[in-house]
Structure 1
Amino acid sequence: MNNIARIFRDDCRRLFANVVSVIIAAGLVVMPSIFAWYNVIACWNVFDNTGNLTVAVANADEGYQSDLVPLRVNVGEQVVSALRANDQIDWVITTEDDAVDGARSGRYYAAVVIPPEFSRDMLTFYAEDSEHAKIIYYANEKKSAIAPKITDRGADTVSYQVNEVFAETLSEVALGVAESFSRLADEGNLDGRVADVADHARSLADSAERASSVLGLYSSLAQTARDLVDGSAALAASARAGIDGASDAAGQGIAAARTAANALRSSGAGLSDALAASSAAFDAAAGSVDGVFDAMSGSTATSAAHLRERAQALDAQVGAYRDLAAHLRELAAGAPEAEQAALEHAAQGMDAVADLVVSMQGNLRSAADKLEAGDAAAQADREAARQQAAEARDRIDALKADFDEHLGPELDQLAADSATLADGLETALGKLDAAGGELAASAGSAGESLDAASAKIDEAAAGLAGAASQLREMADAVDAALAAGDPQALRDVLNADAQALSSALAAPVAVERVAVFPAENFGSAMAPLYTTLALFIGSLLILVVVKPTVSARDQADLRDPKPRQLFLGRFGVMALLSLAQTTLMGLGNLFFLQVQAAHPWLLMLCFWTAGLVFTFLIYALVAAFANLGKAMAVLLLIVQVTGCGGSFPLQLLPGFVQALSPWLPATHVVNAMRAAMMGTYGTDYWVQMGQLMLFVVPAALIGLVLRRPLARFMAWYVEQVESSKLVG
């Protein structure tokens, strides 16, 4: 810590060691502020001077006079008159050739040409074959990048003036028509054109009535559609009920399908196991019979009793085979036709085995009777019983082999198909339920929309019918005035309709603009960009003037200096110069330029923090990479000019600039300055300041960690550069 403080004290003493160093230090402090203030003042109220932009206006409009109204109207002349009173742009009234040539040569920033047919297109907008009125606009985009955007606003002004003059012209034409007809009435010339007015009025009334009738048909159609929708809603409700019933039935079907699948799986597995056990049981039965006959040397009565026990034990097997045959026939009754024959064949095999077992029981009981009677023919019954057991076992083995090869896999496939059917039923059930809900909702929504449409159509039809009635009343009044030869009555009719036309056109619409975080002037709006760039340039100038490393002679005066102590000690004088730069710039913005500042202390804190972060970042780059670090800082400055979002909205810039912007420190400085100047929203200021401080972390890694591994390479690089004796 003592080494850091000593380096800082020595650097401050050298900073003011002589007049030249003092002048250099003062220049470092003042130059960034001059850059910022010059640019902010230059664009302080730049859009207040748009009156210096010359835009040529050429009126070639020939005017228009209708067949009905003997009045020539020139909308172009009225537009030119309105533009003469507009001082937002320097309007130069000239000829069409001069306007176009001046825009091409650069004498005018833009040119507006009103074509000859302009008034005709404007005043015949209601005709079927009318064309949209056009104004030709020439913009010289070569002369300036910003001027065309401003003159485009001038073109919008012309369009606004045209629309305003058009409304005024229609009113004036209507009043002129009334005045002309009044004058004609005073002169007694009431035939011809006045009668044409009545005929036109009746024709318009007929058209209005036809339109009203058509709208009435549409209204009836909408009501009919509403009835259809109501019917659809009822049908949807019925369908929903049907879907609910289908859901219950489907649920039962799903349960039945799953039960059938489980039964098929258990039946197949149980039948295979039972056949295997039966085969083993018949082997055991044959062995038992042989054992009994071999033991006949003993008690004859005991041997006969054993034979009857064996015969009695076979009753259970007979019942089991009969049950298996019955179960197979039950499965065959509910199985597909392809499996029914195989299941019936297996059932018949079970019945045949059961019959063999019954015959075997008879032979065993006969042998027992003969033993008790002492008949030597009992050995023949023994052989018959043993053959029957062997035959039953062979049949059982054949049935099991046939079952494992054909019927078993078919039963497994049938069980799998049943399970798949159950899953499909569940999915279909869910879709049916969703479809029922959508049907009901769609029907209700369509009904509401049709009701609203029908009401609007009825309202429009009523309006057209009223207009037709008024037109007929006017035509009748004109005819009555003509028939009576009363000029005053005709004048009253026409004046009344002219007033109605004026009141119909007098419907101005105003836009109320409410600025959110308003900027007092354009200079304040641009101050964050120019100030941020000035801060970065000032930090770069500090590293151009101040050496980033402590000399070997100064290190000799220190006590065991560590690299981090040398790094942080030299940064002290740079931080002092940065604070001087930012303090002067901030105070100048507040009191000299008087930029907008909703939170002055937050603005000063942003200046100080931004200057220190910029200086530390550039210092770390230069300390680690020497002159290459200065080049990196210049590259970073270039990227930040547009990427920080200080001028154009980031959304207008290319995608790679938008992606790069959050990783630039200047972006967060500009955003924090805007919050301090125009007003904060929540914690937006502190969030931007926190993100700015995060750039200290990579800068510290570069300056304190990566610098030592790069030291050998940078020493070689500096040696190679200095060996050129040109680049330093």
Structure 2
Amino acid sequence: MPIAGFHVANELRRFKRARLTRLTIIALILIPLLYSALYLWAFWNPLNKTDALPVALVNSDQGAELNGEETRAGDQVVQGLRDNDQINWTEVSSEEAEQGVKDGKYYFSLELPENFSEAVTSAAGTDAEKARLITHYNDANGYLSTIIGENVMREVLNTVGTTISAEAVDKVLVGVLDAGDGMSQAADGAGQLADGTGQLVDQLPQLTDGMDQLKDGSSTLAAGTGELNTQVQQLSQLVDGTQRLGDGASELSAGVSQLTGQLGQVTTVQGDSASKLRGYAEQLRSLNLPGTAGIISQVEGTASSLETEGLGPQSSTASDLQRLDDGASQLAYQLSDPSAEYRAGVDRLPQLIDGVGRLDDGAKQLDDGLGQAQAQLPTLVDGASQLDDGANELHDRMTDGIKQIPTWNEGQRVQAATTIGGPVALASQDDVEVSSFGTGLSPFFISLALFIGGIVIFQIFKPLQQRAIAAGVGSLRAAFDGYLPVALLALCQALVMVAVCTLAVGLRPANVLGFTLVAMLVSLVFIAMNHALVSLLGSGPGRVGALITLMVMMVTSGGIYPVQTQNGLIEALHPFNPMTYAVNALRQMLYGFHDERLWTALIVLVATLVVALLISTLAARMQRSWSMKRLHPVLPN
């Protein structure tokens, strides 16, 4: 029988009888568009429309003062966010933002806290802290909106972090440059210190000689003060003797005074007697009596003898007694009266003795101290040499350090702060020049739609023609009789799907012809899998099995998320999933790649097609014989 013997026309002919059946064929071809073109169109590029998302922005920053200048980093961030039109920022209060996120007015909120500027400028102080951005999400507003918000905030954080970091680093760099000036001055001071220590080292030999001479002098001084102290200690005997002499002199003076007082009475009597005799002589002379001249002379001679001899007033003995009394009084005064010059001097001798003793002790301590200093002088010489070496090294290191401190102008400093604040710039490259969310998911949705298209087809079409089987047609031919009509419909589904996605939705495959051919191959494979399931299990159980197969293939295909991010069972099933290779092949054609993944996918898809047709052939062979179970199935077909 010629190829026309395949009863393709017989199965399709019955759909020409009425308009409704013809519309059914058209519907079968178009239904997969709901799962491919409609989905892709609805979710083509949602990340490119984030400017439509209402987002609350709260600027609670109170500003900060640094070096006398006010800094309002919060206002700078807000202005930067407003300059970016990718997000619809609405500036509100903190309370309005919190309530708005709760009731869904805003998808999420961003708040700059009160200490934002203070934290930004803290890097220039001693208590640095990170500036915080506070976000508030609510998954009740849509989990994907939270994911989008988190992605947006990552970009905001990177941008704001780089800007703020640059400002913070600039503040630090200003301090560094100022410190460079101070270090220059410090280096000059270190140079002066090095010069001074050098001079000190040069003068140390003279210091050593001077210290030796000083020690010799102190030893001589200590010996002299020791001898002086020994001699001065003997003066204490003078003090004691003077006290005793003073007591004796006082007694002697008292005795002499008593003696002169008693002898003075004799002198008074002799003087009075002499006066009376002279009076008598004058009276006799006035009488002018003859023969009285001799008497008068004798009387006057006696009066003169009384005055000049013995203890007379004009006698030398009376004068000596008076001088003796005066001398004894003066001696007693000098030896016993503290106000006397001699006694005052003697009374100060104990102070002199004590002072000389202290002087001797001080001279000995000085000599001991100079001895210790002389012993430590070598250590001082070594220390001074080390100090000189350290001062010179300090000067050299500081000079080298100054050379490493940049001398930037303001523009260079700002550029350096920007680089340090954001030292890494992402240079991203995508091998695909233009892509979108819908483009990335199109291989998965087209594969999904083609398998669903197969399920829908077998809602109407029978997998095997029982008349051909009953007529004894070969199992392979019977399987192909049932497969070819639905395969033609599947090819139409694939062609229409590719046409609508490329012409209406905006899908732009790099290899349109290759993409179309792969879609046609995938449609043939998936319709063959549906054909095998329905042929082997029957219409009802087969369609249920197809749905189960679809669910398993969807979650294990890696069409949405990399399987490495899913659980271990899904990752294990991934290599055995035909949809995995359908997605891979479509991606290769979509983005214009032709590596080993493409050829592996084509081989696996062709192999799956062959296996599915063999299963359908086996099912056709099994249906040649009838049994009570086939006549009365447990589940209706």
TM-score after normalising by structure 1? 0.53
Secondary structure at 1:590's aligned position in 2? helix
Residue in structure 1 matched with residue 201 of structure 2 by the alignment: none
Q: What is the deviation of 1:501?
A: 3.4
Among 401, 423, 430, the alignment partner of 1:464 is 401
**Amino acid aligned to 2:511:** H
1:597 equivalent in alignment to 2:509: yes
Deviation by residue 1:485-530 (Cα, 9 ceiling, x = unmatched):
xxxxxxxxxxx86455335324376433221134433322221111
Once residues 83 and 448 of structure 2 are traced to their aligned partners in structure 1, the CA distance between those partners, rounded to angstroms, is 41
**Are residues 1:588 and 2:568 paired?**
no
Aligned with residue 534 of structure 2, among 622, 627, 641: 622
- The 1:207/1:697 distance shift into structure 2, 3 A limit, reads farther
Counterpart of 1:540, as a letter, is I
Structure number, greater radius of gyration:
2
* Structure 1 residues 207 and 568: CA distance shift in structure 2, 3 A: farther
**Residue 674 of structure 1: how far off its partner (Å):** 0.7
Q: 1:586 to 1:158 in 2, by over 3 A?
A: closer
CA distance in structure 1 between the partners assigned to 2:38 and 2:70 by the alignment: 55
Work out which of the residue numbers 454, 461, 471 in structure 2 matches 1:546: 461
Q: Secondary structure at the match of 2:152?
A: helix
On the 8 A contact 1:518/1:678 being kept in 2, the answer is: no
Q: Alpha carbons of 1:516 and 1:702: their partners in 2 closer, same or farther (altered >3 Å)? A: same
| Cα distance in 2 for residues equivalent to 1:146 and 1:594 | 23
Match of 1:15, SS state, is coil
Against the structure 1 CA distance between its residues 561 and 161, is the aligned structure 2 distance closer, same or farther, given a 3 Å change threshold?
closer
Pair 1:647–1:118, CA change in 2 (3 A): same
> Structure 1 pair 463/617, CA: closer, same or farther in 2 (3 Å)?
farther
1:515-664 map, 5 Å? 515-552=430-467, 558=471, 560-626=472-538, 627-664=540-577
Q: Indicate how the Cα distance of structure 1 residues 201 and 625 shifts in structure 2: closer, same or farther if over 3 A, else same.
A: same
Q: How far 1:146 sits from its partner (Å)?
A: 1.7
Please provide the CA RMSD for this pair.
3.6
Matching residue within 92, 95, 98 for 1:94: 92
Q: Identity over the aligned pairs, expressed in percent?
A: 24
Q: What is the Cα deviation at residue 671 of structure 1?
A: 0.6
- Indicate the residue corresponding to 2:50 in structure 1: 50
Kindly indicate whether the alpha-carbon contact (under 8 Å) linking 1:643 and 1:650 is maintained by their aligned counterparts in 2: yes
SS of residue in 2 equivalent to 1:541: helix
Task: Measure the CA separation in 2 of the matches of 1:663 and 1:41.
Answer: 30
The alpha-carbon deviation at position 714 of structure 1 amounts to 8.4
Q: Is the 8 A contact 1:3 1:565 kept in 2?
A: no
Three-state SS of the structure 2 residue aligned to 1:142 is helix
1:115 aligns to 2:94 (yes or no)? no
**Do the aligned partners of 2:6 and 2:480 also contact (CA within 8 Å) in 1?**
no
Instruction: Name the structure 2 match of 1:65.
Output: 65
Moved more, 156-165 or 530-539: 156-165
Query: Do the aligned residues in 2 keep the contact of 1:209 with 1:468 (CA within 8 Å)?
Result: no
Q: Give TM-score, length-normalised by structure 2.
A: 0.60
The answer (yes or no) to whether the contact 1:74–1:119 under 8 Å persists in 2 is yes
Query: Are the counterparts in 1 of residues 121 and 171 from structure 2 also a CA contact under 8 Å?
Result: no
Alpha-carbon distance between aligned partners in 1 of 2:437 and 2:621, rounded to the nearest angstrom: 48
Letter aligned with residue 58 of structure 2:
A
Partner in structure 2 of residue 263 of structure 1 = none
Q: Please give the secondary structure, in 2, of the residue aligned with 1:120.
A: helix
Task: Quote how far apart the aligned CAs of 1:73 are.
Answer: 0.8
Q: Give unpaired runs (5+ residues) of structure 2.
A: 191-396
Unaligned residue ranges in structure 1 (runs of 5+): 179-196, 211-459, 471-495
What letter matches 1:563 in structure 2? S
For 2:497, the aligned partner's letter is M
Name the CA shift for 1:58/1:714 in 2 (closer, same or farther; >3 Å).
farther
Matched, 1:156 2:69: no
Match of 2:104 among 100, 103, 106: 106
Report the CA distance shift for 1:668/1:468 in structure 2 as closer, same or farther (over 3 A): closer
Instruction: Give the alignment of 1:274-353 within 5 angstroms.
Output: none
C-alpha spacing 1:681/1:612, structure 2 compared with 1 (3 Å): closer
Asked if the contact 1:171–1:501 (Cα under 8 Å) also holds between the matched residues in 2, the reply is no
Aligned positions of 1:63-462 closer than 5 A: 63-66=63-66, 69-166=67-164, 169=167, 202=182
- Residues 671 and 685 in structure 1, CA contact (< 8 A), matched pair in contact too: yes
Q: Secondary structure at the match of 1:166?
A: helix
Give the direction of change, closer, same or farther, for the CA distance of 1:660–1:461 in structure 2 (3 Å limit).
Answer: farther
Q: Which has the larger displacement, 530-539 or 108-117?
A: 108-117
Residue of structure 2 aligned with 1:696, choices 609, 613, 630? 609
Distance 2:10 2:623 in 1: 28
Contact in 2 for aligned 1:139/1:148 (Cα 8 Å) = yes
